[in-house]
Amino acid sequence: MLKENSKRPYKLAYFVTHPIPYQAPLLRKIANKDSIDFKTFIISDHTVRPYFDKDFNQITKWDTPLLEGYNHVFFKKIFKTSKLGFFTPFVYGISKALKEENWDAVWVHGYNHFSLIIVLFLASLYKIPIFFRAESTLLATKPNFFKDIFIRQLVRYASALLYVSSLNKEYYLDYGAREKQLFFTPYAVDNDFYKYTNEEKKKISGRLIKENDIDEEATIILFVGKLIDRKNPLLLLEAFHQLINKQPRNKMVLMFAGTGPDLELIENKIKHYNLDSTVKILGFKNERELREYYAIANLLVLPSKEETFGLVINEAMSASTAIIASDKIGSSKDLVINGINGFIFKSENLESLTAILEKTLSNKETLLDMADKSEEIIKDWNYEKDLEGIISALDSDYKK
């Protein structure tokens, strides 16, 4: 064990750049655990208030509670700023936070802010066990001499590496991690949030089909995310165009839930291909709106050139939706099983995506069966598993 702890709860401090929507339910779950005395330290209130998202190219505000149900504190800023970057905001009080309790462990999420690196350094200096969690994979890692040195030292000194996927685990192993350092804490979403009863689905479907002028018998393909080059929405549009030409009698609709720099390119392509009636641009949809579109979608396609994980796959699977994902998406190895709940295609390969779209959409009954399988698979990717992994790390006898 990290400390003799039979008479009191474990004291766990969590450090993160800003409140993250998909993490809030997990933090509440940890806070409700009697065996853990839990406190979250936050660098920026970036997502709590409306903020400008440069990729979405608009003011964004989350419609789900981000701070309720767990003990948290924001670090004080040296200079007032609404921006979030590697050095902004510049905060103080980290050393005090690390010393305010006799912490059994310090859990740090990522290293994308200077302050988190300070936390890692000071925790090591103060000999507080470090738990580290991030979503990095070898698929999305570019060679960098200084970064490689940093990661190897981080892996060496961490008491626990909380891996979120099998590719994330491979990443840590490649940087020298030992098996006894590794604890599975899967990237998860609030699965129940995306579920509806059949009756609810019928009502939502009827309303959204009418609002978006969709044929009731159409198969609905959904893209969710920022309309940026890395997400590769144009590849999906090109593949859909080819599919329409091959299967003109099949009733299919492609929906883009999101906005961003590629929006104008996509709109121009839609006009050029005369796809106005079969391709719908929904714009940015917040979580409560988005879950309704998951509910009516038959298929989610995520064609990213690079994606460390891709939580929209979790969301769609929770809503019982089949999946097509590129082989550059960090979650695809674990969550997308070829021929069972969807397919994986070769990234940036139009022919591969078009062929798999054609195969997937050729049989509506098979597609519905894949959707059911998605819901079964994602049941094991939940916050309970995360909590189990964190408790296992706290209970571990790993020594630096």
**CATH code of the domain covering residue 361:** 3.40.50.2000
Instruction: Tell me whether residue 1 is in a domain.
Output: no
Instruction: Tell me whether residue 68 is in a domain.
Output: yes
173/400: higher pLDDT: 173
Instruction: Tell me whether residue 2 is in a domain.
Output: no
Instruction: Tell me whether residue 369 is in a domain.
Output: yes
What total number of domains does the chain contain?
A: 2
130: part of which helix (H) or strand (E)?
strand 130-133
Q: What is the pLDDT of residues 204-258, one digit of tens each?
A: 999 999 999 998 889 999 999 999 999 999 999 999 999 998 877 678 999 999 9
Instruction: Tell me whether residue 5 is in a domain.
Output: no
- Same domain for 368 and 345, yes or no, is yes
Rounded Cα distance between 112 and 58, Å, is 23
What confidence tier does 400 reach under pLDDT thresholds 50, 70, 90? very low
User: Percentage of residues in the chain with pLDDT exceeding 90?
Assistant: 83
- Same domain for 58 and 110, yes or no, is yes
Q: What is the pLDDT of residues 299-356, one digit of tens each?
A: 999 999 999 999 999 999 999 999 999 999 999 999 999 999 999 999 999 999 999 9
Domain extent at residue 181 = 10-188+382-395
- Same domain for 373 and 386, yes or no, is no
Indicate if the alpha-carbon torsion angle 291, 253, 323, 345 is positive or negative: negative
- Same domain for 153 and 203, yes or no, is no
Q: What is the pLDDT of residues 70-97, one digit of tens each?
A: 999 999 999 888 788 888 999 999 999 9
pLDDT, position 398: 56
Indicate if the alpha-carbon torsion angle 64, 332, 86, 73 is positive or negative: positive
Rounded Cα distance between 121 and 154, Å, is 9
- Same domain for 218 and 166, yes or no, is no
Task: Output the six-digit token pair for 397.
Answer: 């006898």
pLDDT, position 163: 98
pLDDT, position 4: 44
Coil, strand or helix at 302:
strand
Q: Is the pTM of this model over 0.85?
A: yes
pLDDT, position 247: 79
Spell out the alpha helix ranges (H) of the chain: 24-31, 94-99, 114-125, 145-157, 166-174, 198-211, 233-246, 263-272, 287-296, 311-318, 332-335, 350-360, 364-378, 383-395
- Same domain for 390 and 331, yes or no, is no
Rounded Cα distance between 343 and 131, Å, is 34
Instruction: Tell me whether residue 3 is in a domain.
Output: no
- Same domain for 153 and 275, yes or no, is no
Rounded Cα distance between 189 and 182, Å, is 21
- Same domain for 275 and 361, yes or no, is yes
